[in-house]
Amino acid sequence: MLHYIGYFAAIFIGLSLGIMGGGGSILTVPVLVYLLGVSPVLSTAYSLFVVGSTSVVGASGYFRKGLVSLKTAVVFLLPSLLAVFVVRKVLMPAIPQELFTIGSLVFTKDLLVLVAFALLMVVAALAMIRGKQAEEVLGEELHYQHSFNYPLILGIGLVVGALTGFVGAGGGFLIIPALVLGARLPMKLAVGTSLAIIALNSLIGFTGDLSAGTPIAWPFLLGFLSFALVGIVLGTYLARFIPGTKLKPAFGWFTLAMGTFILLRELVFIP
């Protein structure tokens, strides 16, 4: 039964990526771990492939409409791609399986990934809950200005690349505010550009796993991806009628609940 729910959740992941340009990828690892039984570290690799591939499809739709800023994407991706590849290729394989022990709690590599992911979910949720009004205003007004904040975009690109590499999430909740504030992009252009950045970031990170020899169950991974692709195609279409900013607060509360559940389950041992 959980497997069916997991595949249905893959549609929802793609749907949210298509409508909001981010957010859905934050659920990919929990879905793979808790519903489909994949190990946390392997789930981050699978998440990179699924999120990257679905984002390619979503970004192509925005690109055809002229809603991808190539200049901004290139500036953002320069530090981001370097960070994500180094994290997947060098840092992740170097982390030992057992890190330390606190009483009866053995803090393993898998637990580190889940705790880091849950904390990221909480931060992302708070950003989505609180950022609705600011995003609506900025998305409509800042495109009339033409300044381009290179330090902000480069800095957040580096942070997003490191986060993407470590937890397997696309980082759209960080990318979109950076594009709106740093590149002065209107919201729809920021969403399309975000998807392009997430696609390249995630797929480059996944090549780090492949070069490190991570075993990939391709039939399972491609099956999960097919459901996510259905979601992003539908989400890209619905984005014409449903502004992503209208959905983010509700999605933020759901993400906050999921992040809190993971922290309690893994650290307080809720059965």
What is the token pair recorded at 244?
């992503």
What integer pLDDT is reported at residue 142 of this predicted model? 45
Position 269 scores a pLDDT of 64
Measured between alpha carbons, how far apart are the two ends of the chain, in Å?
Answer: 19
| Chunked mean pLDDT (size 10), the chain, 271 residues | 84 80 73 89 88 86 88 89 86 87 81 86 79 49 56 84 79 75 78 87 85 88 92 82 71 83 79 50
- Confidence (pLDDT) at 214: 83
Q: Quote the CA–CA distance of 86 and 161 in Å, as a whole number.
A: 9
Which 3-state string (H, E, C) describes the chain? CHHHHHHHHHHHHHHHHHHHCCCHHHHHHHHHHHHCCCCHHHHHHHHHHHHHHHHHHHHHHHHHCCCCCHHHHHHHHHHHHHHHHHHHHHHHHHCCCEEEEECCEEEEHHHHHHHHHHHHHHHHHHHHHHCHHHHHHHHHHHHHCCCCCHHHHHHHHHHHHHHHHHHCCCCHHHHHHHHHHHCCCCHHHHHHHHHHHHHHHHHHHHHHHHHCCCCCCHHHHHHHHHHHHHHHHHHHHHCCCCCHHHHHHHHHHHHHHHHHHHHHHHHCCCC
Using an 8 Å Cβ cutoff, are 259 and 118 in contact? yes
Q: Which two tokens stand for residue 235?
A: 């989400």
- 113 Cβ contact list (under 8 Å, min separation 6): 29, 40, 41, 44, 166, 167
Give the pLDDT confidence score for residue 183 in this predicted structure. 76
CA gap 183, 168 in Å, rounded: 25
- The count of other CB atoms within 10 Å of the CB of residue 154 is 16
Max CA pair span of the chain? 58
Supply the pLDDT for residue 131: 62
The confidence score (pLDDT) of residue 251 equals 75
The pLDDT value given to residue 222: 94
